[in-house]
């Protein structure tokens, strides 16, 4: 059997482990010493050729060395992996944000847009007005008499006296006719 200087092997291995700068280097050192054809594995295989009285002492020394090198390599691999790849839980603020896909337009809203586009192309103007309006613009400008059923409290939502939720879209016509001169489009 070849005589092995375990202290020398230990010091060389620990020096190589501490000098490793990447996880690949540390993994290569692990294979060199602890792999199938590694140095420590060769020594363990040769323990069988020792005299029976020396085997227990030599075996415990080799196993202690193997354990020490294994622990050092694992420790080095952990520290190098933290340096090489930051933890997945951390957020890298330099990365671009996640683009969320926007939803689609509601079918009714899409039809309204298409109708507005058609009338705009024909020369009409699209006008929008208030949802809460006065009784004057909602009924009187449109010549709706006081006794008309649409003026009843159960057909119209009055907020205060003379102020109500518009019950039709025609109330906007009175506002536009007061502001602009004919012809209106």
Residue spans of the domains in the chain: they are 6-84, 126-185
Give the integer Cα–Cα distance in Å for 120 and 111. Answer: 14
Other CB atoms within a 10 A radius of the CB of residue 151 amount to 17
Q: Which two tokens stand for residue 106?
A: 């509601």
Of the candidates 65, 69, 45, 47, the residue with the CA atom closest to the CA atom of residue 56 = 47
Are the C-beta atoms of residues 33 and 13 closer than 8 Å to each other? yes
Query: Residue holding tokens 């363990």?
Result: 44
pLDDT at 7 over 50: yes
Confidence (pLDDT) at 116: 94
pLDDT at 74 over 80: yes
Who wins on pLDDT, 1 or 5?
5
Reported as type and span, the H/E element at residue 123 is none
Q: Which two tokens stand for residue 148?
A: 């008309």
Q: Is the dihedral of CA 62, 63, 67, 68 positive or negative?
A: negative
Q: Model's pTM, two decimal places?
A: 0.45
Q: Is the dihedral of CA 149, 153, 154, 159 positive or negative?
A: positive
Give the integer Cα–Cα distance in Å for 119 and 185. Answer: 10
Query: pLDDT (tens digit, 9 = 90+) per residue, 115-152?
Result: 999 999 999 888 888 889 888 888 888 888 888 887 77
Give the integer Cα–Cα distance in Å for 164 and 78. Answer: 72
Give the integer Cα–Cα distance in Å for 76 and 16. Answer: 11
Q: Which two tokens stand for residue 85?
A: 């790849």
Convert 101-127 to b/e letters by CB count within 10 Å (16 or more is b). Answer: eeeeeeeeeeeeeeeeeeeeeeeeeee
């Amino acid at each position: 059997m070849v005589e092995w200087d375990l202290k020398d092997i230990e010091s060389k291995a620990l020096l190589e482990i501490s000098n490793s700068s990447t996880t690949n280097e540390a993994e290569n050192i692990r294979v060199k010493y602890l792999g199938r054809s590694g140095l420590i594995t060769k020594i363990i295989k040769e323990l069988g050729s020792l005299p029976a009285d020396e085997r227990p002492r030599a075996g415990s020394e080799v196993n202690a060395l193997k354990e020490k090198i294994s622990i050092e390599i694992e420790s080095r691999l952990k520290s190098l992996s933290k340096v090489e790849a930051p933890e997945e839980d951390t957020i890298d603020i330099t990365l671009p944000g996640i683009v969320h896909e926007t939803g689609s337009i509601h079918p009714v809203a899409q039809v309204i847009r298409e109708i507005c586009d058609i009338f705009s192309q024909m020369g009409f103007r699209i006008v929008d007005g208030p949802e809460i309006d006065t009784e004057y613009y909602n009924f009187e400008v449109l010549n709706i008499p006081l006794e008309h059923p649409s003026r009843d409290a159960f057909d119209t939502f009055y907020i205060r006296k003379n102020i109500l939720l518009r019950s039709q879209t025609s109330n906007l016509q009175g506002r536009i006719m007061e502001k602009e001169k004919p012809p209106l489009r």
